[in-house]
Amino acid sequence: MAVDEEVILRGLPISSGVGIGFPVFLARAESTFGEAELPKKEIENEISRYRKALDSSRKDVENLKKISQQDGPPEVALILGTHLEIMQDPLITSEIENRIRKNQPTKRVLYDLIEECKQRFTTMRDHYFAERVRDIVDVSKRILGHLCPADRLNLAEMPHNSILIAQELVPSETVEASATLISAFVTAAGGLTSHAAIVARAKGIPYVANIDIKRLDKLEFHTIIVDGSQGIVVLNPTRQTLKKYQELKKNYSAERKILKTSAHLHGETIDGYEVRIFANLENPKEIDAVLKNGASGIGLFRSEYLFLSKRQFPTEEEQFEIYKKMVKSLRGGPLVIRVFDVGGDKRVDFLPEDKDAKYFRQIGVELNPALGCRAIRFLLRYPELLYSQLRAILRATRYGPIQILIPMISDISELQLVRQMLDKARRALVQEGVKIAKDVPVGCMIEVPSSAIMCDSIAEETDFFSIGTNDLIQYVLAADRSNFNTSELYSPIHPSIFRLIRMVVNAANRSGKPVIVCGESAADPLMIPILLGLGVREFSVAFRHIPLVKHTIRKWRILEACRLTEGAMEFSSALELKKFLVAETAR
């Protein structure tokens, strides 16, 4: 259908920036298979074809990884490393070969595997598991591309100013996409934490998801604008709209150049107030990237990712070696280790039937995992896991400054029980003649309303506070940000969130305890001046956001931030509050 007038669509902002160009639809042919089976005499040849395609795919990824390590964002090389691990996983390759030996053509086996994986990640709430499955899909598609060269997409040879429109992007497509040729991505599916999103942000390619692609496919339009900052897609823009976005694109490009120089500057306001910027981390292999982006240390290490993708729980010795290596790599910077945040939606049902798996099988499937047996609740039910981890952490403290962070505290008694277990582990190690640090700070995560409301009492039992804004917002507003029906209600810019953060910061100040803010709010340019005005002087964000956070902080004076915060506290509506902040921070 031809459309001559301007059409504005709204989606989920994934990667900021402005892209202006013409649409290119990435259509993928869906394969169907009849009942025909692979003749027995062809099985060995078919396995040989598969191994050859696998080897070619491995060489592709190795070359891409080498290029990324030399001249590219560190996130890209890490994701490609994950793909290499999948291709070298004997369990996956043997499963594929076993299916071929059951008279199934390789192409059918791979398509079946892709469909099985898609079914799995559509039901997964935990982004780590979902991304792992997506990576398997991505690798399978790459192998298929070598088996059927005519079906391969080459995003490195797209025309200039292409706006790629697809149902969903896999990481390798964004890795191979050239930022000089491709102006933006538009997809129906996609999330903020997906590997494709991470690569798009690292490359500076604007990206908007949650757009009705089927509707776009039915329309005829010549020009498209993608506003990755606001999640807006404009079809057939008017001359006035086009001029507006051309100016925005120019300003954004200039700002990106400035950000590149911000990584190693001090985090301080115009009037000289020091603000420390730390990094959130899941993968110990990313520490070099953390330091490269100017972090003062690790403000939140999500330790459960050490084993969520593996087939057995890590031993005390394995954990100790990892923590030791990490803290030594930080060269004096602090390492805040959050104890295992498992249970709930972070399930590990795939573990084999052995002694380590018994802990996880007993939990069962919960109707509401976000409110169920997770994090510290889970660990206190199975204290062997927590005790082993606390011993490993204490042993590593002799190699550098390590702090322990307890997640999902809803009652002060939970914190007291952890301290008792920590004392027990400390006494045991001293008796064994193991050297450990005399002072190991223990912090409390504020991510449920009860801990925020009782923060003055909790301050007496904790050495520092860490405000986990992602979960706190979800619980306070009773809105699941991953639920399409409630995602609009999930808003960090809400008066109740500001008031709770103020309560926690005031309680921390009265007791002389530090407070650090983690989560996406700490990297939001609209939220940063409010957090400064509330008294926050420590932030922990994904390492790729550190230059932006530093750049934003360096544009403000503390007095200005305090005045802005005073004005913001007068609002009772999230919508009006956001309008106020957008207007004030744009000045």
What single-letter amino acid sits at 271? D
Q: Is 195 a catalytic residue?
A: yes
Catalytic residue among 195, 494, 545, 551: 195
Tokens 């002389």, located at residue:
512
Q: Which of 489, 486, 490 is nearest to 469 (CA)?
A: 490
What single-letter amino acid sits at 502? R
Full 3-state SS string of 115-137: HHHHHHHCCCCCHHHHHHHHHHH
State how far the Cα of 345 lies from the Cα of 170, in Å rounded to an integer. 23
At residue 220, what are phi and psi to the nearest 5 degrees?
Answer: -105, 120
Which distant-in-sequence residues (6+ apart) come within 8 Å of 501 by Cβ?
467, 517, 531, 534, 536
Burial of 9 (0-12, 13-18, 19+ CB in 10 A): middle
DSSP, residue by residue, 253-313: HHHHHHHHTTTTS--B-TT--B-EEEEEES-GGGHHHHHHTT-SSEEEEEGGGGTTTSSSP
Q: Which of 305, 321, 304 is nearest to 385 (CA)?
A: 304
State how far the Cα of 61 lies from the Cα of 79, in Å rounded to an integer. 10
DSSP, residue by residue, 423-488: HHHHHHHHHTT----S---EEEEE-SHHHHHTHHHHTTT-SEEEEEHHHHHHHHHT--TT-TTTTT
- Our CA angle for 393, 394, 396, nearest 5°, is 65
Q: Is 117 a catalytic residue?
A: no
Q: Which of 135, 179, 138, 137 is nearest to 155 (CA)?
A: 179
Catalytic residue among 117, 373, 444, 518: 518
Tokens 């050859």, located at residue:
52
Do 473 and 492 meet the contact criterion of CB atoms below 8 Å apart?
A: yes
Helix, coil or strand: residue 422: helix
At residue 450, what are phi and psi to the nearest 5 degrees?
Answer: -60, -40
Helix, coil or strand: residue 348: coil
Catalytic residues: 195, 518
